[in-house]
Amino acid sequence: MDLLEYQAKQLFSKVGIPLLPSQTIEDPRELKQLQIPYPVVLKSQVRAGGRGKAGGIHFVENTIDAIAAARSIFNLPIMGQYPQVLLAEARYNSQEEFFLAIVLDYQLQRPVLLGSAKGGIEIEPLLENLQKVVVKEEFSLFYARRLAIKMGLAGELIDSVSAIVEKMYRLFVEQDLDIVEINPLGVSSEGELMALDGKITVNESVLVRHPDLLLFQEPQNISQPQAKVSQSSILTPELRWLDWNEEEGGNIGIISNSLNLALVTWDLISQNKGKIDSCVLVGQETALDLQPNSHITRQIHLALQQLMELRELKIVVANFLGNPEFTQIVAQAIVDYLKPQQELKNQAEERSRRVTGSVSRSRQKRRSQQPSSKQKAIATQRPFSLVVRLVGAEIEPIKEHLAQMPVYFTDDLEEAVNKTISLTKSS
């Protein structure tokens, strides 16, 4: 899976690779509120190569020129691909441009460091000066410095370029990537380095171990299921219900804040012979940073309520990904939804203990609290199990709070799927 430039740079920022101020643009009118001072460069965000020579990159000096250029880029297909978003980035004056990459060589079964002192869009000089270093043992700065020296660098550039290679390698290993590339790596007259473009290829077979990368995945690139938002099955405009085109008889429901997360969850459950009946999406997703909004708690309560009303369902899997603030709000929303059921169950157990203790019926009647209409509605709901997968939330206090409820919290997707299948068999 190839990432777009702005997505690759989001990962670059996590390991401290130097980047210019930038802003994604989904509509040319957004350039009126551009937060980056001019001059800027506008770049088409497509996965096809050769966008520079194809006209997908424009340098602009003011807002009027930027809007005109953006309209042109949005309507320019590159290898048949139209951009859905542009990247506006500050302009950088490079004195030199290098090429750096780390690739997984499947034949050697080792990572390989690549570097060229002639980076940029001209391929022939890049390849003529390309150098290679195979990482044969545990990575150390020695490999990065060796590459820099083979590239013909000298002085402080050896140290500064080696530091960039080391960060690239850390990202390569931590995220199980196939390719990490910077082309060009700009060098200013003062010797400052800047990643002016980036490419990352993700190994899709290990996505389950890296849920943060799932949000970069294009739904249409997933072979199964062929899911789409079903207009006929939307019960409320606040929720998005998916039509899975699946055979009847499923007893598992899914709730998530991302279509990609929902698809991966469905796929893993199906691989383990589980059957999905329904799936509902809530919230708003924006790249890696999923921000909470004032409606998310209400949406989660509404989704859970409607899923629980489906007679076929026995288990509901809640799979949420976002920043710690978002996932903590999701966790609290689930607790708040289940709390009345926990309280009602506790009251029932208390009344049972009083009855078995030979407490008179009249006294028992006076002491016991009469359930509210909401509690009565909860009490009539059929039994169900809820498997909740959250990343970044403090789940241990939640586990203790809902210890008596059929709810299972985890931060591991594989564990959540295994628990779901186990509950399906037992039910």
Residue 362's pLDDT band, with cuts at 50, 70 and 90, is: very low
For 21-90, the fitting CATH number among 3.40.640.10, 3.30.1490.20, 3.90.550.10, 3.30.365.10 is 3.30.1490.20
Q: Give the lowest-confidence range in 160-174, 267-281, 360-374.
A: 360-374
Query: Of 323, 330, 325, 333, which Cα lies nearest the Cα of 290?
Result: 323
What are 112's two structure tokens? 């390989």
Is CATH 3.30.470.20 what the domain over 96-202 is classified as, yes or no?
yes
CA distance linking residue 276 with residue 266, whole number of Å: 7
* 66-94 pLDDT tens trace: 999 999 999 998 888 899 999 999 999 99
Contact in structure between 421 and 273 (CB atoms under 8 Å): yes
Peptide bond into 28 cis (omega under 30): no
Is CATH 3.30.2270.10 what the domain over 208-426 is classified as, yes or no?
no
What are the distances in angstroms from CA 330 to CA 101, 118, 294?
Answer: 39, 49, 12
Residue 226's pLDDT band, with cuts at 50, 70 and 90, is: very low
What are 110's two structure tokens? 């080792």
Q: Where in the chain is the domain with CATH 3.40.50.261?
A: 208-426
Coil vs helix vs strand at 321: coil
Q: What confidence score (pLDDT) does residue 379 get?
A: 43
Cα maximum dimension of the chain: 95
What are the distances in angstroms from CA 168 to CA 102, 129, 138, 218, 354?
Answer: 7, 20, 15, 24, 66
What is the C-alpha radius of gyration for the chain, rounded to an integer number of angstroms?
A: 27
Averaged pLDDT, 92-118: 91
What beta strand segments (E) does 233-292 contain?
A: 240-243, 252-256, 276-281
What burial class does residue 286 get, using C-beta atoms within 10 Å of its C-beta: 0-12 exposed, 13-18 middle, 19+ buried?
Answer: exposed
* 267-321 pLDDT tens trace: 788 888 888 888 888 875 433 344 445 578 888 988 888 888 887 888 999 998 7
Q: Which residues of 92-131 are buried (b: 16+ CB within 10 A; e: fewer)?
A: eebebbbbbbbbbeeeeeebebbbbbbbbeeeeebeebbb
CB neighbour list of residue 417: distance below 8 Å, 6 or more residues apart: 265, 268, 269, 272, 274, 317
Of the CA atoms within 13 Å of residue 148, those in its CB half-sphere come to 20
Kindly report the backbone phi and psi dihedral angles of residue 48, in degrees, each rounded to the nearest multiple of 5, phi listed first: -75, 150
CA distance linking residue 200 with residue 3, whole number of Å: 6
Q: What confidence score (pLDDT) does residue 204 get?
A: 73
DSSP state of 135: -
Q: What confidence score (pLDDT) does residue 336 get?
A: 84
Of 96-105, 214-223, 305-314, which has the strongest mean pLDDT? 96-105
| DSSP tally for the chain: helices H, then strands E | 14, 17
Peptide bond into 18 cis (omega under 30): no
Q: Where in the chain is the domain with CATH 3.30.470.20?
A: 96-202
Q: Where in the chain is the domain with CATH 3.30.1490.20?
A: 21-90
Residue 410's pLDDT band, with cuts at 50, 70 and 90, is: confident
